[in-house]
Structure 1
C-alpha cells in the first residue's frame, strides 16, 4: 500500500444516536469474564466499501445512521453507560442515551489506497476520530461510529467498541444486524442474548486450573516494549510462505493448523529480534473462542466476551535454540487448555484476585479473526474489500498483540495479513529472521512484507 498517501477528512460535529424506540430502563451486570482489567479498553475496527451501482442515489451515512438507531432498539445496552460497583464490578446503566456517530467526507478514492488494503492504514485516526473525552471506560458512549464518504462513491466505516461489552464475534453480530436492517429487514435474524450470568464466578469461587496468563511478573530488565520509535508493518502469509515454515516441522507434528505453525514461527522470530536474554521467561498468549467449549454451548446470539487468554511460558534460550517444533508444541498445549471448567475457573479468579490484567511483560498475544466475519458485513453495498482490526496492539500497549486477518494480495493469492509493531531496530532483525526461514522456499522477491508506516 502507498503509505505516503495524505488526504483531508471533513467531519461534522459528533452526534448521539438513540434507539429508534423506547427501551427498558434497567441495570445489567457484565459477566466476570467481561470486566477483567485486560478488556477495559476501546477496540477499533475499519471497513472499506466500494461504490455499488444498485445503490446509486443512496447515502451510506443516512442509511447506516437510521439502521443503527433501529438496531439499538434490540441491542439497547449498547446505548447505555458503564458504571462501576463494589469489587470493581462493571454494569450497564441502560439509559438509552445512545452511541456516538460522525458523518464525514474525504477527498480521496479507494483506488488511491492501492491494491492491497491492510493495516497500518494512512491517516486512519482521521477515519475514526477520537472524540475528546470519549475514550474513558465509565459514563461514556460504548460505541463510536464514523462513516466517511469517498470521492469515488465508496465509503469507509470506522467503529470503536468498549471491549468489556463484546468480543470480535459479538461486535460482528451487532454490525451484521445493522447491515440486515440497512438492507430492509425489520429485526435482526439472530436475536441478541444478554445472559451474562452464564460466565459469572461460582459461589463460592474456586480456581481449579492453572492461570499463568494472570501471573504478576516483574519487568526486571525493562523489556516492556518502549512506546517511542515503533515500527508498524504488515506481513502476508500465503500458501508458499506457510509451506516454507511447515518444512521446518517434523513429520509427526504436521497435523497442526496453520494458526499454530505461524504462531510458533512468529513468536520465535520476534523473541530473537527483541534479543531477550536467554534466562528470561517469554510468553505466548493465544486468544481462544470458548463459545463451543460449553455443554450446552452458549446460546446463539450471546454477544458478550467468551474467550480465554491461555498462555505458554518458556525461557528465551529454550525457545530460540530449540527447533521450531518445540514452540509449536507449547502453542498447541496452551490452546488445548481451554475448556468449560477453565472458563469458570477464570471467572472465579477474577472475583478472588481483583480482576487482574493478563501478563504483558515479555508476552506476545495473537488473535485469529479470520472466522469473526468482519468481511461479510453488508450494508447494501456488498461485502467490504477490507474488514477487520484498524491496527495491531491491545489498548494502549503497542507491540504486544498481532491479529491474523484474512486477505487477498495484489497477485490474487489468498492468505493472512498479520500486522506487527516492534521497536525499529527489532523490526529490522525480525524481517531478517523471517526472511531466513522463507527465502529458500518462496519465489524470488517474496512479497511477504506488504506495508510499513
Structure 2
C-alpha cells in the first residue's frame, strides 16, 4: 500500500469568530423563536456529525477568488445569507420543562475557525481518518455548548483549502445538511436563486389521532427496533489506554471501491432473480459476510440500514423538510448462519429490512410510538446494545460535485462520524468531485480493528485504502 509522505503534521488555529445571519435578513425574519424537535428527531442521540470538503489551489486565471483570504471572505459573506434561510443552524439547543431538547432560534451564530496546516493536500493520509481528520480538519464541537454548527476553513501549505463542518445530529440528518451546503454554495456564486429552500413545518410529522392508529402489530415491530435508553446501563467507549486487546479498538478508515467491483457485487447478489438488488443492498450483504468472519461460534451478528422516509410520507413538502426523517431497520443472524449463506441470500435479507421500513405506515407508526413514550428517551437498539453489529447509512446523495463556492469543484468530500454507538458505522458516498471517477464509491468506516483487518485482507479487492496516487492520478 502506498504510504503518504506526511504521517504527522501541525494545524495552527489563526482566528475564531462568530458568523450570524445577515443583519438585514435578521430584522425581517429572524426574531427569536422556538422550534420544536419532531418525534423522529427525539430518537437521535446527542452526537455530532463531521464532514469535510477539499479544494485545490484556485487558478488566478479561472477565478477572482484565488487565495485563502478571499476564499474565507466569500465563505463568511455567503454563510451569513445562508443562515438567514437555514436559521436553525444559527440557534442553540436548550431543554424544555419536560427535559426534552428543543431549538431556540436566536441567531447566536456559528463558530467559524480559520486555521493553517503545514502540509499539502497531496501529502495527507485520508485513509487514516483518525490521524488526519479528527481535531485537525474537522472541528471538535463541544456537547456542553448548545450551538448547532461549527465550521473550520484550513489553509493548506499548497494553497488549497479544506472546509470542515461539525453539526448536531438531533437537528439535522445528512439530507438536510446536504441541502444547506448546496444552498450555501449557490449563494456564494453570483447570489443565484436557491434550487430548494427549507420547510420547517413540524405538522408534517405530527402524531395521528388515536382512532387513526393501527398500533399493536406495528408497536411490536418497533419494539424490536427501538428501546428506552433507561433500560440499558450506560457504558462509555473505552479509551485506548485501558483496552488490553487492540482488536477491540474502534477506528475510522476511508476507502474507495471501484465501479467494476460494485457492479460485480450487484451481479452476484442478483444472480438468481429477475429483479436486480440495489448496489447498496448488494454491498451491505457482502459487508455482512466479512463482519461475520470475526465472530465466534454461537455469537450473533447484527446488520442495520438507515432508510430515509421523505419520499414515502405523501407530501411534496417533505423534499425540503428540515430535520431528521430517518429510521433504522436491523436484523440478527447467527455467525454460522451468515457464513452459510451466499451474498444473494443475504441481499434478500437486506432487501427485506429496507422494505419493512420504507413505507409511510412505518414512519407514521414511529411518530406515534415515540409520542406514547415521551418524555422517556428512546433510541435505536443498534446504537445502545452491545455485540457484533454494524449500521450502514447511504451517503449516495452526498452532493460533492455541487459544493462549488466559485473556485472549483471539490477534490474530495467525505463524512467523518465516529458515532460513539456500541456498534460500527459505514457510509458509502459517490467518488466524483473534480477527478471524473464517476461510478466509484468513497466509503467511510468506523469499525473494530479486527473487522478492519478482514476488510483489508479477505475484502482487499473491494476495499482499497484511499491514497494520494488515486486522488491525484489523471482522470479515468
Q: Could you tell me which residue of structure 1 aligns to residue 474 of structure 2?
A: none
Conserved 8 A contact 1:35-1:355: yes
Whole-angstrom distance in 2 between the partners of 1:243 and 1:335: 20
Runs of at least 5 residues in structure 1 that lack an aligned partner in the other structure? 439-445
Whole-angstrom distance in 1 between the partners of 2:283 and 2:6: 29
Conserved 8 A contact 1:235-1:419: yes
The equivalent position to 2:139 in structure 1, one of 119, 129, 137, is 129
The equivalent position to 1:270 in structure 2, one of 291, 296, 314, is 291
Q: Deviations over 1:316-364 (max 9, x none)?
A: 2212222222211110001111211111111122233324121133321
Conserved 8 A contact 1:145-1:157: yes
Q: Could you tell me which residue of structure 2 aligns to residue 91 of structure 1?
A: 102
368-377 or 210-219: bigger deviation: 210-219
Q: Could you tell me which residue of structure 2 aligns to residue 421 of structure 1?
A: 446
The equivalent position to 1:197 in structure 2, one of 189, 198, 203, is 203
Conserved 8 A contact 2:456-2:464: no
TM-score, normalised relative to structure 1: 0.85
Conserved 8 A contact 1:215-1:358: yes
Whole-angstrom distance in 1 between the partners of 2:402 and 2:127: 16
Conserved 8 A contact 1:102-1:147: yes
Conserved 8 A contact 1:60-1:147: no
Q: Deviations over 1:406-450 (max 9, x none)?
A: 226999574112233333344324433325xx5xxxxxxx87344
| Number of residue pairs matched by the alignment | 430
Q: Deviations over 1:208-231 (max 9, x none)?
A: 5212221579999x9x99965334
- Alpha-carbon RMSD: 3.1
Whole-angstrom distance in 2 between the partners of 1:74 and 1:426: 42
Instruction: Write the mapping of 1:3-402 to structure 2, written as runs, cut at 5 A.
Output: 4-21=6-23, 22=26, 23-36=30-43, 38-53=44-59, 54=63, 55-56=65-66, 59-113=70-124, 120=129, 122-124=131-133, 125-130=135-140, 134-136=142-144, 140-185=146-191, 188-204=194-210, 207=215, 209=218, 210-211=221-222, 212-215=224-227, 228=243, 229=246, 230=249, 231-246=251-266, 248-249=268-269, 250-252=271-273, 255-273=276-294, 275-278=295-298, 280-337=299-356, 338-353=358-373, 354-360=376-382, 361=386, 362-389=388-415, 391-394=416-419, 396-397=420-421, 400-402=424-426
Q: Which has the higher helix share?
A: 2
Conserved 8 A contact 2:391-2:426: yes
> Structure 1 158/411 Cα, relative in aligned 2: closer, same or farther at 3 Å?
closer
TM-score, normalised relative to structure 2: 0.81
Conserved 8 A contact 2:257-2:463: no
193-202 or 336-345: bigger deviation: 193-202
Conserved 8 A contact 2:49-2:417: no
> Structure 1 118/175 Cα, relative in aligned 2: closer, same or farther at 3 Å?
farther
Whole-angstrom distance in 1 between the partners of 2:467 and 2:7: 12
Instruction: Write the mapping of 1:440-451 to structure 2, written as runs, cut at 5 A.
Output: 448-450=464-466
Whole-angstrom distance in 2 between the partners of 1:118 and 1:376: 23
Whole-angstrom distance in 2 between the partners of 1:239 and 1:293: 29
How much has 1:102 moved relative to structure 2? Answer: 0.5
Runs of at least 5 residues in structure 2 that lack an aligned partner in the other structure? 469-476
| SS of 2:167 mapped into structure 1 | strand
> Structure 1 219/364 Cα, relative in aligned 2: closer, same or farther at 3 Å?
farther
| SS of 2:282 mapped into structure 1 | helix
